[in-house]
Amino acid sequence: MSDTISTTLSNIPEPSFFNSFFNMTDAGIQQCSMFQLKMILFIILIFILTSILTSSFTMIFGSRRGLYKKRCPMRGCPCCKEGYCGDDCDCGCGSIEHFSNDKIYTYNDISSPNYSNYQTTPLTAENTVEGNPSNLLFGQANRIITTMDNSMTLNLNIFANLYVLNGNPFGRDHVNKDVNKVQQYLVYVSKNGKDLKLLDELKKEPDGLYKLKFKTKDQEQIKNLMSYNELIIKHKIEGESIQKVLLKGKFTII
């Protein structure tokens, strides 16, 4: 009988550390753990909902009720105060970021005060009958028209990688038969190849490129030049009537 009792007592599991520390059964500990897990999930859910509601109310009412200050994205907005949207802002700049206004500009807006127009065109060689470039020269032209106080200013900057005039790298006279003749690179403007008009001459700069920096404030001259859309660079040799076309480029007519 005593052996049976001792065997039964030895089969009873000893309580674990958590059972003895919390004075709870395994079922109680499991139930407590599930309750804590649910409480943690509930707190996380409350935190997420609170964050969403706070962000929504801030976006809707923040700019008008002063919950936060936002930098004004529009220049000259009457609601902006020291670079920030005011509390009584009604123009909408506090909630919508504007990258431009609602006006559609055209090239005719060049006559508007403090307005500028910039165009650039590559200068390339004409193609031969076979469809290949007639030479390997290249260049670029930039045209800038600015208006200030109802007065326009035209800046035309042209640069091109051209052959060195009167160049003779080998030091022999027969390499260039025209070495003793005056040669020039001239810039013309035209209207699709018609009404050719001489603009000026390209000059060689220290960097080896031929350049022309043309600037005028003559209002009549500017209006006249704005009607030309094509730019042509020609090679002129003294005493010869025919000038060789080297490069061409086109602007948009204003």
Q: DSSP per residue over the chain, as a string? A: -HHHHHHHHHHSPPP-HHHHHHT--HHHHHHHHHHHHHHHHHHHHHHHHHHHHHHHHHHHHHHHHTSS--B--STT-TTEETTEE-TT--SSTTTS--SS-SPPP-GGGGGSTT-EEEEEEEEBPPB-TTSSBS-S-EEEEEEEEEEETTEEEEEEEEEEE-PPTT--TT--GGG-TTTTS-EEEEEEEEETTEEEEEEEEEEE-TTS-EEEEEEE--HHHHHHHTT--EEEEEEEETT-S--EEEEEEE----
Tens digits of residue pLDDT in 37-84: 888 888 999 999 988 888 877 776 654 444 445 556 555 565 666 655
Asked whether residue 176 carries a pLDDT value surpassing 50, the answer given is yes
Place of tokens 């990688």: 161
This prediction's pTM: 0.52
* pLDDT at residue 23, as a whole number: 63
Tens digits of residue pLDDT in 91-125: 555 455 545 554 544 545 444 445 568 899 999 99
Return d(Cα 36, Cα 253) in angstroms, integer: 76
Percent above pLDDT 70 for the chain: 61
Average pLDDT over residues 7-36: 62
Q: Which residue has the higher pLDDT, 27 or 241?
A: 241
Asked whether residue 5 carries a pLDDT value surpassing 60, the answer given is no
Return d(Cα 245, Cα 124) in angstroms, integer: 11
Return d(Cα 193, Cα 228) in angstroms, integer: 10
Nearest residue to 212 via CA among 186, 237, 190, 247: 186
* pLDDT at residue 51, as a whole number: 87
* pLDDT at residue 157, as a whole number: 95
Q: Which residue has the higher pLDDT, 25 or 76?
A: 25
Any idea which fold 107-166+180-250 has? Immunoglobulin-like (2.60.40)
- Residue 135 tokens, joined: 């030479």
Average pLDDT over residues 228-243: 90
For the chain, the structural domain boundaries read 17-63, 69-102, 107-166+180-250
Rounded to an integer, what is the distance from CA 192 to the centroid of its chain?
A: 31
- Residue 241 tokens, joined: 């009537």
Average pLDDT over residues 125-144: 91
Return d(Cα 202, Cα 97) in angstroms, integer: 47
Tens digits of residue pLDDT in 143-170: 998 888 778 899 999 999 998 887 755 5
Q: How far is the CA of 87 from the CAs of 54, 83, 189, in angstroms?
A: 18, 13, 56
Nearest residue to 160 via CA among 129, 132, 139, 187: 139
Per the CB < 8 A criterion, the answer to whether 92 and 79 are in contact is: no
